[in-house]
Amino acid sequence: MDKRTEAVAFFRSEPFLRLFTDFRNKYESLGRIGGSVSLKTYEEAEIIAVAEFLGKPPEKMRHKRVSLEAFEKRLAVTKFEELTLFEILQSYFGERIVSKKEQVAGEAQRLSSLFATIEERYPELSFWVSVLREKPPSTYLFFPWMEEEEHFLELMQQLNLAFCRRPDPGDGERLPKFSQRITGDPHAFDTEKKLGKLWIHLLSTAEGIPVPRSTEGIAELMETYGVLRDDLMNYVTCANLLAEEEGNLHPVWWEAYRKNLARNVTLRELVSIDRIYPAETKEVFVVENSGVCSMILDEAPTVPIVATQGQVKLSTWKLLDSLVENGAILKYSGDFDPEGLKMADLIKKRYEGNAVLWHMSLKDYEKSVTDVVLPEARLKKLDTLETLELIEVAKVMRKKGKSGYQEALVEEMIREMKSV
């Protein structure tokens, strides 16, 4: 039997487990043999074993501390003199002992290698991996999952496939069907599952927003990327429009039109509609704010109008698509903030000649500007605008750093509508 094996056998035959565990913790903390451990809470048998090894009376050791260096010096006058305390500890626990500092460095290297692998295999996720590298609080949940690297890489494969094969926002696909198509499991992307949590974080990163916590916020985020959690809560507000189903005038739409009623039309209803159009004119007014829509209808109850509720949901896209397909001209007006300009830009690009920016000029911005200061994080959203008229507004908005809102323009908008 070699000395190391003999030493391990000796210390395992005595109640040294607690002492050696404390020694190990101390080494991991300091990164060297040093410091001391307290015997204050040790059992009598443990104190006696330590005292006998050190050659001291047990009664003098009960409330003492044992230094690691003193223990190692004692080894030097025993038959284990050729061994260091560190060597004995490693053999005793049967594994390599590393300091906390080494553990942290090793973990950082492992994660760096894992992230590099993900970026190499799935370059479309690189923008998201860069966020994981920074380890903000929103990602803490994911790091324990990364300890099982093979499983985490399998999740990354599915996440990448989902991101690359997500439906067009104008088409939409129910979440269970989307999940089945990507993974073969209709529940894989449920929000309580790992893949579902990763999916929400990925989409919120792509969108440049905080991770939503509410059911509605999660549904709206998924919907932005064409995945539907609920087609009943997905609705668009409109008034004075007609619709056809299977070639026949839809009776509900007709009755709402006849009585000048505003309706919240769900995506579920829109899916079965073949055509949507204004009855007496080609122009349909589209506003961002539902309050503005209501104010307009108070004064101009017959005007064809759509309210996006601050976000163009799939239901809104389907309604606007159908209007344009049937020859309507959309006159869009939104708030003068980065999100409002971005939405105007999207609508203008999507419908080109069938979309006209209405009360979205620099002059209108200056009329509606408020004292509400826009943070730099929001102003950065202006960098992606492509419509020239909106870019001109964005330049001044950056200088002023303030937003403007539709409410300041409502009276002027109503006068124009009445004059048509």
pLDDT digits (tens, 9 = 90+) for 382-419: 999 999 999 999 999 999 999 999 999 999 999 998 87
DSSP string, 113-144: HHHHHHHHH-GGGHHHHHHHHH--GGGGGGTT
Residue 86 token pair = 């560190």
DSSP string, 13-24: HTT-HHHHHHHH
- Phi/psi at 280 (5° precision): -120, 0
Are the CB atoms for 336 and 245 separated by under 8 Å? no
Distance, in Å, from the CA atom of 225 to the CA atom of 321, rounded to the nearest integer, reads 17
Rounded to two decimals, the pTM is 0.58
Q: Which residue has the tokens 């959690």?
A: 229
Q: Per residue in 79-104, is it b (16+ CB within 10 Å) or e — as a string?
A: ebeebebbebbbbbeeeeeeeeeeee
Give residue 170's pLDDT: 66
Give residue 105's pLDDT: 79
Higher pLDDT, 223 or 363: 363
Across residues 308-325, what is the average pLDDT? 89
Across residues 140-152, what is the average pLDDT? 95
Residue 350 has pLDDT above 70, yes or no: yes
Helix (H) or strand (E) holding 237: strand 235-239
Task: Compute and round to an integer the Cα radius of gyration of the chain.
Answer: 34
Mean pLDDT for all residues in the chain: 92
State what percent of residues in the chain have pLDDT above 90. 73
Residue 1 has pLDDT above 70, yes or no: no
Classify residue 278 by burial, with Cβ atoms within 10 Å: 0-12, 13-18, 19+. Answer: buried
| Domains of the chain and any CATH numbers | 3-97 (no CATH), 101-228 (no CATH), 281-419 (3.40.1360.10)
- pLDDT tens figures, 14-66: 899 999 999 999 988 888 999 999 998 899 999 999 999 998 898 888 778 99
Give 57's contacts (C-beta < 8 A, 6+ positions apart).
51
Across residues 330-335, what is the average pLDDT? 96
- pLDDT tens figures, 207-243: 999 999 877 788 878 988 989 887 777 889 999 999 9
Distance, in Å, from the CA atom of 325 to the CA atom of 351, rounded to the nearest integer, reads 10
